[in-house]
Amino acid sequence: MFFEKFPLLQYTLDDGKSFQLIPDILRRIALADKLKQTGPYFEEYDIKDGETPEIVAEIKYGNSQLHWIILMANNIIDPRFDWHLSYYNLVEYCKGKYGAANINKLHHYVNKQEYIINGYRSMREDSTFLNPGTIELEQSNQNIQVNLVLQSFQTGKLFPVSNLMYEDAENEKRRRINIIRPQLVSTIETSFNSLIIS
């Protein structure tokens, strides 16, 4: 296991009456920034639905115990949420975050260029870029007139994005990862072992 290599420290839960030896999980070894910026050391990999770091390590390195190298190469601290989720797990995550009844509720709107539109939309039939509406805002005791472009779904300008659609798009950003080339793994493992105990 990964944490078996970590040095032990004494830990108490009862103000020093008794102690336990636990791995010093606050230690962290990371790849040097210079290495991360050097393309020849990496290859890209698209995570398939349901693959875990252990499965990818087995596929790429022939050893599932080297999953920590996959995580380290991608700055993943918490593989439960920083790793690409299977669709089933994504739906379950959304249910936990938004509530089961709300996963298909509106998260935000986007326009054709996929810019997020915050706030409210107008359903006026004459809403176009050529016919902007005017609203008044009060700011620091001054009235300011602002022209807004009023858009509606009838004109095809705004598109709804549900909570699930939003989280799915964010999840897809985590699909492509960097894999350290297999020929470098033994060097990284040796360096890790010497650094973690120092």
Task: Decide if 7 is inside a domain.
Answer: yes
Q: Which residue has the tokens 């964010």?
A: 170
What's the CA dihedral at 69, 71, 50, 56 to 10 degrees? -20
CA distance 143 to 93: 44
Structure tokens at 148: 């807004």
Cβ-contact 7, 27 below 8 angstroms:
yes
pLDDT digits over 25-56, tens only? Answer: 566 666 656 565 556 788 999 999 999 999 99
**Looking at the 3D structure of the chain, how many domains does it have?**
2
Angle (CA) 95 96 102, round 5°: 40
CA distance 180 to 70: 7
Domain that holds residue 190: 2-80+175-196
Please name the residues in contact with 36: beta carbons below 8 A apart, sequence gap of 6 or more: none
pLDDT digits over 163-194, tens only? Answer: 999 999 999 999 999 998 888 888 777 766 66
Task: Decide if 102 is inside a domain.
Answer: yes
pLDDT digits over 129-144, tens only? Answer: 444 444 444 455 555 5
Based on the fold, state whether residues 41 and 65 are members of the same structural domain: yes
**pLDDT, position 16:** 79
**pLDDT, position 92:** 96
Global pTM reads 0.62
